[in-house]
């Protein structure tokens, strides 16, 4: 490491360095120890001269974006609300969302409003707004609160949020999905017009499927993730959740595009018609029903129907929904991507090292993006016993995996996983050369019954309830392709056949062709009332 300047003082002594060297298994001669104490002192001087961490944060103009009535509601809509607030822009730049209400997932920064991330691990009240929160207010919407999310956003079942279990809108006592659990329920019940979800393994699509709404995980980088707690920057996605496909397209039009902060986004090309989603959806639904998808090729991903533990009712419902595409003018063919079955393995192996560092410790190194330094200062370089005890089973499992992988494998395991992603992404790209979209079930089975003890069960017992849930979703976090969940009917609950719960069809498109997912979904939705199927 080169020097900008050599410090004149000796704020770091050889005695200060000896414990560090001993811990690292190193020894230095007395002359070298003296030299390195001077060099490290220069580093310490440079650190001391850095601007204050908070001075460079993009704080919001609270006169332009005022927020009032911040409170924890007594009635939290069956667990869906974390915190309520009323916030809107005094001078919006558009009326795309005029008069609409929006809930933000509770892993998003919104100045002056607590951000729990579903856990008591730290007590954090941000001083900034996530980019897309600002854009939502600029479009005329009112942000009305933070939607509950699962503990550290590491669960697919709505039972671990610090604010309580989130119940399915169609059956109390059943999961609303996760980790964007509150977002899914609030949209489904009409408590808000729109919600933002965040998705690293399926956390938009799982609650969308479970709650009977539309949820889109956009192409990686299409929507800026600035000001949102990361799990792993390579799989972070924020996206729209709404009751209809058109509403989903409308919210995407507001939140898509570059913000100048997020290095997940390409430096060029995200502009103009590429960021228009509503007009193409309207154009499709304006056509005669039998011609809405004329010329569109839909590929049924065979491996998406061959998931261990997949429920036959889910398979039957989704296949029936796919058959209906033919009447809309589409060509429907079978497509095979053998690597799809292996896709969850690198996702599972990569999460511990990067996920624990970024999500739990706030160590988002190597990224040119807005770092949430104020929250990272609350955590430290490792979790305390109290912080670990505050985690849900999924996050605790990730941290244990981190400690194990860091000691046994080091960074090479994560590197192996990252290198595999190109092969996986290419496999989907090749399949999508032959068809416009791929379709499959979003989830392998219906939402599970919520455990009576929350997550006080053993981690193995709790996590066993959702084994295999990510089989069709996490692959597209790895690859970055857009993936949308569309409600297409109801299936019986596994625990009680008299309880009927929503089922979702997943539609996957080419990268930055999110509009194709929306158009195909809109055509199906326009021709069918999913609640009657």
Q: Which residue ranges make up each domain of the chain? A: 14-50, 67-532
pLDDT (tens place) for every residue of the chain, 533 residues total? 666 677 666 689 999 999 999 999 999 999 999 999 988 888 888 888 888 877 788 899 999 999 999 999 999 999 999 999 999 999 999 999 999 999 999 999 999 999 999 999 999 999 999 999 999 999 999 999 999 999 999 999 999 999 999 999 999 999 999 999 999 999 999 999 999 999 999 999 999 999 999 999 999 999 999 999 999 999 999 999 999 999 999 999 999 999 999 999 987 888 899 999 999 999 999 999 999 999 999 999 999 999 998 999 999 999 999 999 999 999 999 999 999 999 999 999 999 988 999 999 998 888 889 999 899 989 988 999 999 999 999 999 999 999 999 999 999 999 999 999 999 999 999 999 999 999 999 999 999 999 987 776 788 888 888 889 999 999 999 999 999 999 999 999 999 999 999 999 999 999 999 999 999 999 999 999 999 99
Q: Please answer whether residues 278 and 509 qualify as being in contact, where contact means their C-beta atoms are separated by less than 8 angstroms.
A: no
Architecture of domain 67-532: Alpha-Beta Complex (3.90)
Q: Which residues are catalytic?
A: 105, 179, 203
d(CA 108, CA 198): 9
**HSE (side-chain half, CA atoms, 13 Å) at 287:** 18
Q: Please answer whether residues 37 and 16 qualify as being in contact, where contact means their C-beta atoms are separated by less than 8 angstroms.
A: yes
Identify the residue whose tokens are 């809405």.
292
Could you tell me which of 100, 94, 83 has the C-alpha nearest to residue 141?
100
Q: Please answer whether residues 290 and 328 qualify as being in contact, where contact means their C-beta atoms are separated by less than 8 angstroms.
A: yes
For 319-369, the DSSP string reads HHHHHTTGGGT-EEEEE--GGGGGTHHHHHHHHHHHHIIIIIS---TT--S
d(CA 462, CA 458): 6
Q: What is the pTM assigned to this prediction? A: 0.95
């Amino acid at each position: 490491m080169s020097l900008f300047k050599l410090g004149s003082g000796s704020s770091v002594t050889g005695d200060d360095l000896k414990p560090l060297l001993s811990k690292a298994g190193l020894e230095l001669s007395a002359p070298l120890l003296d030299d390195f104490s001077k060099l490290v002192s220069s580093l310490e001087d440079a650190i001391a001269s850095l601007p204050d961490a908070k001075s460079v944060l993009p704080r919001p103009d609270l006169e332009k974006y005022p927020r009032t009535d911040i409170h924890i509601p007594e009635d939290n809509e069956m667990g869906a609300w974390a915190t309520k607030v009323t916030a809107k822009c005094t001078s919006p730049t558009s009326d795309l969302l005029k008069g609409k209400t929006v809930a933000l997932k509770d892993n998003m920064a919104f100045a002056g409003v607590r951000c729990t991330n579903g856990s008591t691990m730290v007590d954090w009240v941000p001083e900034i707004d996530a980019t897309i929160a600002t854009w939502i207010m600029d479009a005329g919407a009112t942000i009305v609160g933070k939607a509950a999310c699962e503990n550290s956003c590491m669960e697919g079942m709505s039972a671990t949020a610090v604010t309580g279990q989130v119940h399915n809108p169609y059956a109390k006592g059943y999961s609303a999905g996760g980790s964007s659990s509150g977002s899914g329920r609030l949209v489904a019940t009409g408590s808000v017009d729109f919600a933002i979800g965040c998705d690293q393994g399926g956390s938009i699509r799982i609650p969308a499927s479970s709650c009977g709404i539309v949820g889109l995980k956009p192409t990686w980088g299409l929507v800026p993730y600035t000001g949102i707690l990361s799990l792993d920057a390579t799989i972070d996605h924020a996206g729209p959740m709404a009751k209809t496909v058109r509403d989903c397209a409308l919210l995407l039009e507001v939140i898509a595009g570059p913000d100048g902060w997020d290095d997940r986004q390409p430096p060029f090309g995200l502009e103009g018609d590429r960021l228009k989603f509503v007009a193409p959806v309207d154009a499709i639904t304006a056509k005669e029903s039998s011609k809405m998808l004329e010329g569109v090729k839909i590929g049924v991903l065979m491996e998406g129907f061959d998931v261990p533990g997949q429920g036959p009712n889910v398979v039957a419902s989704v296949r029936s929904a796919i058959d209906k595409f033919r009447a809309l003018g589409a060509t429907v063919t079978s497509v095979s991507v053998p690597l799809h079955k292996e896709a969850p393995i690198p996702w599972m192996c990569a999460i511990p090292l990067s996920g624990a560092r970024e999500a739990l410790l706030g160590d988002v190194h190597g990224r040119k993006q807005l770092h949430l330094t104020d929250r990272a200062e609350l955590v430290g370089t490792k979790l305390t016993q109290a912080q670990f005890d505050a985690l849900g089973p999924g996050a605790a499992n990730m941290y244990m995996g981190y400690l194990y992988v860091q000691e046994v494998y080091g960074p090479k395991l994560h590197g192996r996983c990252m290198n595999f992603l190109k092969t996986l992404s290419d496999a989907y790209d090749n399949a999508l050369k032959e068809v416009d979209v791929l379709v499959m079930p979003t989830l392998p089975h219906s939402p599970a019954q919520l455990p009576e003890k929350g997550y006080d069960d053993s981690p193995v017992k709790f996590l066993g309830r959702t084994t295999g849930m990510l089989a069709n979703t996490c692959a597209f976090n790895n690859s970055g392709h857009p993936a949308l969940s569309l409600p297409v009917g109801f299936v019986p609950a596994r625990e009680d056949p008299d309880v009927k719960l929503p089922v979702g069809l997943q539609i996957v498109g080419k990268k930055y062709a999110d509009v194709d997912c929306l158009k195909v979904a809109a055509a199906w939705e326009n021709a069918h009332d999913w609640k009657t199927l």
